[in-house]
Amino acid sequence: MTDISLIRQSYQAERQAAIEDYRQRPSPDKLLKRLSACADRAIRSLLGMIPLPRHACLAAVGGYGRGELYPYSDVDLLILLSGQISPEEETSLGAFVAALWDIGMEPGYSVRTIEQCLTEARSDITVETSLLETRWVAGSRKRMAQFIQVMHQHLDAKAFFLAKRAEMQQRHARYQDTPYALEPNCKESPGGLRDLQVILWMAKAAGFGSSWAKVSQAGLLDPDEARNLKKAEQAFKRIRIELHLLVGRREDRLLFDLQHGLAERYGFLPTPTRRASEILMQRYYWAARLVTQLNVLLVQSIEDRLFASQSDATFQIDEHFMIRHQRLDIVNPEVFNHHPRLLFQAFLLMQQHPELTGMSGKLLRAIWHARVLINPSFRRDPVNQKRFLEMLQQPQGIVHGLRRMTMLNVLPRYIPAFRRVLGQMQHDLFHVYTVDQHTLAVIRNLRRFTMPEHAHEYPLATRLISGFDRHWLLYIAALFHDIAKGRGGDHSVLGATEVKRFAKLHGLSREDTDLLVFLVKHHLTMSSVAQKSDLSDPAVIQSFASLVNNQRRLTALYLLTVADIRGTSPKVWNAWKGKLLEDLFNLASTVLGGHVVDANTILSQKLDQAQALTRLAGLRDDSREAFWRYLDVAYFLRHDAPDIAWHTRHLYFQATPDHPVVKARLTEQGEGIQVMVYTRDREDLFSRICSFLGSRGLNIQDARIHTTRHGYALDSFIVMPATEFGDSRSQVNLIEHEMAAFLDEHHAPQADPLPTIHSRPSRRSLAFPVTPSVSIYPDERSQQWTLNIIATDRQGLLSDIARIFAHYGVSLSTAKVMTLGDRVEDVFVLTSDRLQQPRIMRQFERELLDSLTIHDARHAA
């Protein structure tokens, strides 16, 4: 066995022993130091075989320089040279680096002189930071001492602070400025390990110490804060260690498919209402929020020390508060202990003084320590209640204020139910934020409705909220709409109870209390009706209007629904959903306004509008009427007047074509495509249409299937590109020509020539799959059947469902395809005599369920 093999064997054995000891009694710091020491010994053993160049020094940098080496992290090294080296020495260095790989290390190394290090540090803050944590490993100690002296002399603490703060802000922006991502990076995400390291780098560069104890001694932290930071640091170090050991390589992301395994490593057990992984992640978010809170406080405190102004100019607001350096400050740090009511006054002043850039470190620390004063007595105090409502009624700063109150743990203590959803994950496959962050996003969206600069994004919402008296009530509804998630049971009903308690406690009127209870209890209703029901059915509109009861409720529910959907995920909202909600709002408004909405009235209005549009296009009445004789009342009821006119213009002169007619155009909102297919009806038509659209990366959002009196299919679809980068405009002409050829019976074979594309479900849907659900029930006369399907979304899903319809001879009347991120909730209205037979019905349901389950199981395997 060679000497390198012996070194490798010894190094790997020491590493394994350290990891096994950690498994028996997890101590992150102990393991990291042992792994670092193992690397030190192995490197020194190698240098005994392959020596460094004369007067050279080998130093550890970065995390390894701190004496912290994670199980699968790189071993970062700096080889300091005195000057030029000979070719033999250069060859020797190459052999040394190769030997590091041979013994099982992954080295990251640089070879420089001290002057070169200084040049690199001046041009790259990352290099300067890495060199700040340099530690001697082997070679010339004199060279190491020179290096440390030179780097220290040239370190500009103020410039270093500004550069690291800017770097941190850029990093936070890459992670959406939130520690609450559902798959956070425990090292780089806001509130993660890197934030802790940045604080210590800033403190070390400024001479305040390189450990939490020393930073505390310097007066930047009190002992309690230092203990909390140390506790959070240990939590992050452990989770990063566990990630490395679980995956068997360097991995710092808490991916969905790793969260369950991590929870098992920690020994977390599921509860009746929460997964073990949710418990794990809520612990993670606790630590991340703590680091975020203290990060803001510490960075500001270091800045105040470094950039202390000689002229400490202040502006007194009142006897307790003042403005110092454009920040809100307090006169006496103990003021909240004597006057707890002033806690809310601080947040209110921030809203009333938009010129302020933030709160001072002294004020932040005082609020952080005073949070424990928010108890039942504080909540019952009428002054505090009045000030909280006053904050929601300010003309600016509402969202920033609530975020700041959440960060400082004030809002969760004032509303204990909100505290329960801090860091609460949502595995419904369409929310991409934790409950608390989604809630604040909904309030932000409602707030935008009131801002003129966003009026072009939300024209109807902006108009409605401008005339809505006491619109701040909507912020309360948003605050409570998901507040009961994670408890089990119907969160809407439980949340309605919570908001009713809040409203009574805060002395809201009976009318406003009833509105809040209604909004929280029914915050999902409008979305469900708009996306799953047939809005051309007067009974649907009448039932919804009866539920909302009055125009104020309808307006409030519309505003909350739009804000809620847009706050779930960037993928969930689209213009088509916006149109459906707007249509439902307008139809319900008509009913609530006292107008009769029945089939005859609707039919008459649509015919009049469609006639006017066809005349405007130059179409003769007799030509139009000749074509309309092929259409029945159901067609006119289920299509809007502009769509009827569009169909008529393209078909009046070819009512019985030999080849399929396909027309496409951008939707009115421009995000999707409206497609019309007109051809002789046949059983597999819907299946073939789905196959074609799926092969072109288009998702069906809405389908209206109609058969004319003379046996032609007149089908209408709304489709959207499957990805946000899809270009709808470029697809229009391709759809018209290629789909027509594909559907042509004279040229296309009967067998479907397009392969069904089954895309791999997302990692999230594999880790937290939706349990497939199929339910089917007849209408009152058993003439039509309503089929509800819930499943994990994937490309090819609708094609598979359509093939089953064709196989069983089921005719599709309408389809509502509701895609929510990685989850689909589809509703189909079917016609089939075969479904009257119980045995056929059971087979049909079973085959549908299998089609929803097989592909998930295949990919999960």
SS (HEC) of 644-693: HHHHHHHHCCCCCCCCCEEEEEECCCCCCEEEEEEEECCCCHHHHHHHHH
Handedness of CA 334, 337, 338, 340 (dihedral sign): positive
Indicate the Cα dihedral angle 35, 39, 44, 46, nearest 10°. 140
Question: Residue 777 corresponds to which amino acid?
Answer: Y
Instruction: For residue range 302-350, list pLDDT tens digits in order.
Output: 988 888 765 567 889 999 999 988 899 999 999 999 999 999 999 999 9
| DSSP letters spanning 449-490 | HT-GGGTTT-HHHHHHHHT-TTTTHHHHHHHHTTTTTTSSS-
Tell me, what's the pLDDT at 60?
96
- Contact (Cβ atoms closer than 8 angstroms) between residue 39 and residue 137: no
Instruction: For residue range 792-811, list pLDDT tens digits in order.
Output: 877 778 888 888 988 888 88
Tell me, what's the pLDDT at 724?
59
Q: How far apart are CA 296 and CA 299, in angstroms?
A: 5
Q: What is the CATH number of domain 161-308?
A: 1.20.120.330
Question: Residue 454 corresponds to which amino acid?
Answer: H
Q: How far apart are CA 349 and CA 707, in angstroms?
A: 65
- Contact (Cβ atoms closer than 8 angstroms) between residue 479 and residue 439: yes
Tell me, what's the pLDDT at 746?
55
- Contact (Cβ atoms closer than 8 angstroms) between residue 577 and residue 667: no
Pairing of strands 358-359, 327-330: parallel
pTM for the complete prediction? 0.82
Residue 487, token pair as written in the block:
């408890």
Tell me, what's the pLDDT at 343?
97
Task: Enumerate residue ranges in the chain where pLDDT < 70.
Answer: 1-2, 309-312, 427-432, 570-571, 669-670, 722-727, 746-767, 780-782, 820-821, 854-861
Residue 675, token pair as written in the block:
């497609």
Residue 539, Cβ neighbours under 10 Å: how many?
Answer: 12
Tell me, what's the pLDDT at 861?
33
Question: Residue 732 corresponds to which amino acid?
Answer: V
Three-class DSSP category at 226: helix
Q: How far apart are CA 106 and CA 74, in angstroms?
A: 5
Question: Residue 247 corresponds to which amino acid?
Answer: V
CA 108 to chain centre: 34
- Contact (Cβ atoms closer than 8 angstroms) between residue 604 and residue 596: no
CATH 3.30.460.10 assigned to 3-155: yes
Closest CA to 80 of 168, 141, 5: 141
Residues paired with 830 in a beta bridge: 785, 812
Give me the phi and psi of 337, to 5 degrees please. Answer: -65, -30
| DSSP letters spanning 38-99 | HHHHHHHHHHHHSPPPTT-EEEE-HHHHTT---TT--EEEEEEESS---HHHHHHHHHHHHH
Give the burial string for 309-333 (b: 16+ CB within 10 Å, else e).
eeeeeeeebeebbbbbbebbbbeee
Closest CA to 403 of 161, 190, 182, 184: 190
Q: Which residues fall within 8 angstroms of residue 393, CB to CB, at 6 or more apart? A: 472
Tell me, what's the pLDDT at 164?
93
Handedness of CA 44, 48, 50, 53 (dihedral sign): positive
- 625-860 CATH choice from 3.30.70.260, 3.20.20.80, 3.40.50.300, 3.30.559.10: 3.30.70.260
Residue 218, token pair as written in the block:
């310097």
Q: How far apart are CA 168 and CA 163, in angstroms?
A: 9
Q: How far apart are CA 721 and CA 698, in angstroms?
A: 5
Residue 703, H or E segment: strand 698-704
Three-class DSSP category at 700: strand
Q: How far apart are CA 729 and CA 736, in angstroms?
A: 12
Residue 345, token pair as written in the block:
């006054």
Q: How far apart are CA 480 and CA 420, in angstroms?
A: 12
Q: Which residues fall within 8 angstroms of residue 273, CB to CB, at 6 or more apart? A: 486, 487, 488
Closest CA to 695 of 788, 552, 798: 798
- Contact (Cβ atoms closer than 8 angstroms) between residue 618 and residue 628: no
Three-class DSSP category at 791: strand
Helices (H) and strands (E) in the chain, counts: 40, 16
Residue 726, token pair as written in the block:
């899809």
- Contact (Cβ atoms closer than 8 angstroms) between residue 841 and residue 760: no
Domain boundaries, the chain: 3-155, 161-308, 315-395, 415-592, 625-860
- Contact (Cβ atoms closer than 8 angstroms) between residue 168 and residue 73: no
Q: Please, what is the Cα angle at 193 between 190 and 199, to 5 degrees?
A: 85
3-155 and 625-860 have identical folds: no
- Contact (Cβ atoms closer than 8 angstroms) between residue 210 and residue 135: no
Residue 84, Cβ neighbours under 10 Å: how many?
Answer: 9
Closest CA to 240 of 527, 28, 455, 393: 28
| DSSP letters spanning 792-834 | E--TTHHHHHHHHHHHTTPEEEEEEEEEETTEEEEEEEEE-SG
SS (H, E, C) 343-382: HHHHHHHHHHCCCCCEECHHHHHHHHHHHHHCCHHHHHCH
Residue 376, token pair as written in the block:
């039942």
Three-class DSSP category at 201: helix
